[in-house]
Amino acid sequence: MVFLMLINPHSTFAQDKKQQDEDPFKKHSVSKAAIYSAILPGLGQAYNRKYWKIPIIYAGFGVITYFIVSNGKEYRIYKEAYVYQANGETYPIDNPYVGKYTLTQLEDGMDYYRRNRDLSYIIGGVWYIANILEAYVDAHFFEYDISDDLSMKISPSFARMPAFENQPAPGIKISLKF
């Protein structure tokens, strides 16, 4: 066995050279963050290490889903009552709106809840796109350095004016330190 290790020393190393040569500070990929968020909302935020944003994203989707479901349910109840009254049906039905509202009121209620349901779908799509865009923009700022050395200093200054025989002229000096 020792003889085999001496003949082929490359196979005895525990670590591969490829792993040693990899840069430990890989460039953060902006497109990966967007694609991850498109595949699973919140995954791009996790890739950007902004874990606190994930519950906000899912709370938004939860609220939107609630409005889609509740408006859809009310729409179906109004529609059922409208169809029942419009057809002049007389069989017993378990609908709280039958006999309570006129056909015009039922139609208005149907339109109202259908419009709100459809608007909730649109808002859900916008929320989904906002989730992707947020991950994309945040990935751009992933390596942005915000250090404590950011400062601005304003001080009086004297500058030489060549037009006036190099006489000093008063002024203000603004220094920015990054």
- What backbone torsions phi and psi does residue 88 show, to the nearest 5 degrees? 70, 35
Q: What is the pLDDT of residues 26-72, one digit of tens each?
A: 788 889 999 999 999 999 999 999 999 999 999 999 999 999 999 99
- Summary mean pLDDT of the chain: 84
Tokens of 104: 């015009």
> How distant, in Å, are the alpha carbons of 67, 73, 91, 100 from that of 82?
22, 14, 14, 11
- What backbone torsions phi and psi does residue 43 show, to the nearest 5 degrees? -70, -35
Taking the CA atoms of residue 61, residue 123, residue 46 and residue 58 in that order, the dihedral angle to the nearest 10 degrees is -10
pLDDT at 1 over 70: no
Where are the chain's structural domains?
A: 28-144
What is the Cα–Cα distance from 105 to 154, expressed in whole angstroms? 69
What is the Cα–Cα distance from 119 to 112, expressed in whole angstroms? 11
Residue with the two structure tokens 């390596």: 143
Q: Is 79 helix (H, G, I), strand (E, B) or coil?
A: helix
Tokens of 1: 């066995």
The total of other beta-carbon atoms located within 10 Å of residue 127's CB is: 15
State pTM to two decimals.
0.67
Query: Could you tell me if 57 and 40 are in contact, meaning their C-beta atoms sit under 8 angstroms apart?
Result: no
Q: What is the pLDDT of residues 67-115, one digit of tens each?
A: 999 999 999 999 999 999 999 888 889 999 998 999 999 999 999 999 9
Q: What is the pLDDT of residues 137-157, one digit of tens each?
A: 999 888 776 666 667 788 888
